[in-house]
Amino acid sequence: MAPVYDRVALIGLGLIASSMFWAMKRGGLAGEVTGYARSSETRATAREIGLCDRVCDSAAEAVEGADLVVLCVPVGAMGAVAAEIAPALKPGATVSDVGSVKKAVIEAVAPHLPQGVHFVPAHPLAGTEHSGPRSGFAELFDNRWCLIVPDTGSDPDAVARVARLWQGMGAQTDEMDAEHHDLVLAVTSHAPHLIAYTMVGVADDLRRVTDSEVIKYSAAGFRDFTRIAASDPTMWRDVFLNNKEATLEILGRFTEELFALQRAIRTGDGDHLFAYFTRTRAIRRGIIEAGQDTDAPDFGRVKKG
Amino acid sequence: MAPVYDRVALIGLGLIASSMFWAMKRGGLAGEVTGYARSSETRATAREIGLCDRVCDSAAEAVEGADLVVLCVPVGAMGAVAAEIAPALKPGATVSDVGSVKKAVIEAVAPHLPQGVHFVPAHPLAGTEHSGPRSGFAELFDNRWCLIVPDTGSDPDAVARVARLWQGMGAQTDEMDAEHHDLVLAVTSHAPHLIAYTMVGVADDLRRVTDSEVIKYSAAGFRDFTRIAASDPTMWRDVFLNNKEATLEILGRFTEELFALQRAIRTGDGDHLFAYFTRTRAIRRGIIEAGQDTDAPDFGRVKKG
């Protein structure tokens, strides 16, 4: 495959950026990839493991001459990073990001970008509970979705090229407007994460059920919650603070439903519970048919390459 | 390994019973295994796939002459099944079960059992979202816990033998009293399941977020919930109706915590969120160290044998 970009700069070198690097290398999608992370420790690790062709000591140096700059920092840091790199951006360059929230990121980043620079926000729906420069792997985006959320007036060619890059990294792409993106993600990701964090916190608080018991006997249900609740705290703090409205709306609906099910338990209404549980089972089938998971039992996970 | 029992009868032929059969065969743990399921379709399937050495057309026939009878039916059906088999039980036989709730099962089953029959309740902490006679596999219990919950006055030899059977099927065993079992499971399994069911139901209800979008973009977080929420509806209805008190108590604590986190989001209290999320991450590490899950990313699940 011919490179999609001659020069790509990754700002922030965590799970997503490091996976992008390995996926771009695998696909031969970029001529040179530069990288920058705020922490000198992260930069040292990146140099040690060969993450990025060139690791730079400032964001401005990393973006100099880049055709594509991808902001891979927590959502709350996007605005400051955009301000920092703006003067060093090459005219005609494209700036993209991988934030889990899009409306707030567009509001924070767009005002800083000089005229003649294209802004193409994106959000790959992929991740693990691991973080940091060592956590990435080339297959992370394979068969996952990447949502492209063009700003009003985004250049169609720039948008198509970002989509091509993601497709080259193994993802399927789709376009969506920012507000709708944030609502869909509140349902499929943000609210579930907050709920998982909450349940794990509750278990931790209970003194009658000792920690070791909760951990020892975690096989059913709770284990899946702990995996979700082990995700990067900084990233998720920023997600909730920046997708406040949609997340709170979904959580409101969630609480309402939970109260109805609690009442059914209290009053012994087995028919209500059975009907509800039967309905939710069908959604799972839909997900398997949509190819976003396998039908295999929840064990025997294998470590990737 | 020498057989632990000459004759074992499995009443109910779903995920757990079918996995027990294959695990007992793998380990050479039982001379003959008989099986019974209420549905004639299930019995036909069992005969077709060779599940059980002999599939019987009544529960009484299946338990006749059995040294161990394991009740593998939903918690709400345990009492009726115990009443049905009681007259056919061999003197000195052991009756066990695999129900997810222990106090209610003991109350429902114990009164029916004749003198001279040992009752050794048990609960293997293992499962998948699949159900039915075709869903079982020999490895289901490998490296999982099976909690033995002896009734007051259970014969120590009978208890030790049930434990030996579970160890032979790959599980680690532990003993616990019924009330404590039900509280621990409310935290690690029952409340998480109800929460997952609720969230999947909310997603299904939302009309602005179309079904196909929720399914398509489910990779992050929501997918794990759908797996949990795809579990057998009858089994889970019975769990909640029979572990009402502990489940409602944990859900009360959960709601309280969730409200505190929602308030932190609403007021923009990032420090509170960050501290909470950091704390929950540590629990996950504990689970990995306890050997109840792997550290591998949440993909690449492989289908077992």
Higher pLDDT residue, A220 or A174? Answer: A174
3-class secondary structure, B257: helix
CA of A271 to nearest chain B CA: how many angstroms apart?
8
B138 part of contact set with chain A, CB < 8 Å: no
pLDDT at B101 over 50: yes
Q: For residues B163 and B94, what is the distance between their CA atoms, to the nearest angstrom?
A: 12
pLDDT tens track for A283-298 = 777 767 766 666 554 3
According to DSSP, residue A36 is labeled E
Q: How far apart are CA A259 and CA A247, in angstroms?
A: 18
Average pLDDT value for residue range B101-113: 96
> Hey, what are A41's tokens?
């420790």
Q: Which residues in chain A have Cβ-Cβ distances shorter than 8 Å to B286?
A: 211, 215
Which of B125, B139, B146, B218 to probe by mutation at the A interface, max A CB count within 10 Å?
A: B218
Q: In this structure, are residues B148 and B122 in contact, taking their beta carbons and an 8 Å threshold?
A: yes
Buried (b) or exposed (e) across B71-108, using 16+ Cβ within 10 A? bbbbbbbbbebbebbbebbbeebbbbbbbbbbbbbbeb
pLDDT level of residue B305 (50, 70, 90 thresholds):
very low
Q: What is the pLDDT of residue B297?
A: 44
d(CA A180, CA B135): 39
Q: Measured between CB atoms, which of A196, A215, A221 is closest to B286?
A: A215
Strand partners, B11: B36, B71
Mean pLDDT in residue range B43-54:
98
pLDDT tops 50 at residue A304:
no
CB B187 within 8 A of CB A214: yes
Please, which pLDDT band fits residue B79 given cuts at 50, 70 and 90?
Answer: very high
* B192/A contact by beta carbon, under 8 A: yes
Residue B126 contacts residue B141 (beta carbons within 8 Å): yes
Interface check B48 vs A, CB under 8 A: no
Q: ipTM of the predicted structure?
A: 0.84
Q: Which two tokens stand for residue A138?
A: 């080339």
pLDDT at B151: 77
Q: Which of A37, A26, A33, A36 is nearest to A8 (CA)?
A: A33
**Mean predicted confidence (pLDDT) in B57-72:** 98
* Sequence-ordered list of residues with C-beta below 8 angstroms from that of B79, at least 6 positions apart, any chain: B108, B109, B112
Encoded tokens for A208:
């009658």
Which residue shows structure tokens 């429902």?
Answer: B108
Q: Please count the CA atoms within 13 angstroms of the CA of A227 that sit on its side-chain side.
A: 24
Going through B159-252 in order, the beta strands assigned E by DSSP cover 172-175
User: Do the Cβ atoms of B185 and A278 come within 8 Å?
Assistant: no
High-pLDDT (> 70) share of chain A, %:
91
Nearest Cα residue in chain A from B239 = A265
Residue B304 scores a pLDDT above 50:
no
Which of A195, A297, A301 has the CB atom closest to B128's CB atom? A297
- At residue A291, the pLDDT reads 66
Residue A2's pLDDT is 81
* Region A214-238 average pLDDT: 81
Mean pLDDT score across all residues of chain B: 90
Question: Could you tell me the two tokens for A250?
Answer: 């979904």
B60/A contact by beta carbon, under 8 A:
no
CA distance B251 to chain A (A): 8
Average pLDDT over residues A227-238: 88
Residue B107: partners with Cβ closer than 8 Å, 6 or more residues away: none
Which positions 236-265 of A are in contact with B (Cβ < 8 Å)?
Answer: 236-238, 240-241, 244, 247-248, 250-251, 253-255, 257-258, 261-262, 265
Among positive and negative, which fits the CA dihedral A44, A45, A46, A47?
positive
The tens digit of pLDDT for each residue in A129-146 reads: 889 999 999 999 999 999
- Amino acid A198 reads T
Domains contained in chain B, CATH given: 5-176 (3.40.50.720), 180-289 (1.10.3660.10)
Contact B230, B129 (CB under 8 A): yes
Contacts of A248 in chain B (CB under 8 A): 262, 265-266
Q: How confident is the model at residue B220 (pLDDT cuts 50, 70, 90)?
A: low
Please judge whether A208 and B145 are an interchain contact, meaning their C-beta atoms are less than 8 angstroms apart: no
* pLDDT given for residue B207 in this prediction: 62
Least Cα distance to A59 among A104, A8, A118, A10 occurs for A10
Count Cβ–Cβ pairs < 8 Å, chain A vs chain B: 374
